[in-house]
Amino acid sequence: MSKADPEATPREFLPHDHAHCVSDAMAAAESLCAESGARLTPVRRRVLEILLEGHRPMGAYDVLSRLDAEGLGSKPPVAYRALGFLVDQGLAHRIERLNAFIACPHPSGQDHVAAFLICRDCGTVAEVPSAPPPLPAGFQVEQTTIEAVGLCTACADGPAT
């Protein structure tokens, strides 16, 4: 497994073998849950798959309508609970700016600090590793949200040719 280069353009903004990217993340999720004892139930697993397949942020109700179509649940709490579980386990993240959720491309079990790059044109979101920003001593940080809105390389270069 190669370490991510924090300088490089994130994979999300480039063409890539997405099926592979989904199966890798699912495998990682399975083994993390097995290890921690967390129960990756059918609904939860399917929600994670839906997020991974979408490969973009999805609202809770978007996820829910997928679940509903598949007979896995039709009421909001079903989706919110599964998403809450995934976020708690570090398998997905909530994008505050979008009221949406996205699968973590490199779940690690730890509660890693990440920054999200949100392209306002194509809607793609990339997760990049990040350090907690320097903050005044004295405030005891427990969780940090970093979200940047802007234009990805593709959208900045060729604005709808």
Partner DNA sequence: CTTGAAGTGTTACTTTGTATCATGTACGGA
Partner DNA sequence: TCCGTACATGATACAAAGTAACACTTCAAG
Annotated binding site for Zn(2+): 119, 122, 152, 155
Q: Which does 122 bind (CB under 5 to 8 A by kind): its own copies, DNA, Zn ion, none?
A: Zn ion
Q: How far apart (Å, rounded) are the C-alpha atoms in residues 155 and 43?
A: 35
Q: Confirm or reject binding of residue 59 to DNA (CB under 7 A).
A: yes
Closest by alpha carbon to 117, among 56, 52, 50? 56
Q: How far apart (Å, rounded) are the C-alpha atoms in residues 64 and 123?
A: 20
Site for DNA in 9-48 (CB under 7 A): 38-39, 41-44
For its own copies, which residue of 96, 108, 111, 123 counts as binding (CB under 8 A)? 96
17/96 with CB nearer its own copies: 96
Q: How far apart (Å, rounded) are the C-alpha atoms in residues 101 and 95?
A: 6
Q: Kind and range of the H or E element at 43?
A: helix 42-54
Applying CB under 7 A, the residues found at the interface with DNA are: 38-39, 41-44, 59-61, 72-78, 80-82, 85, 99-100
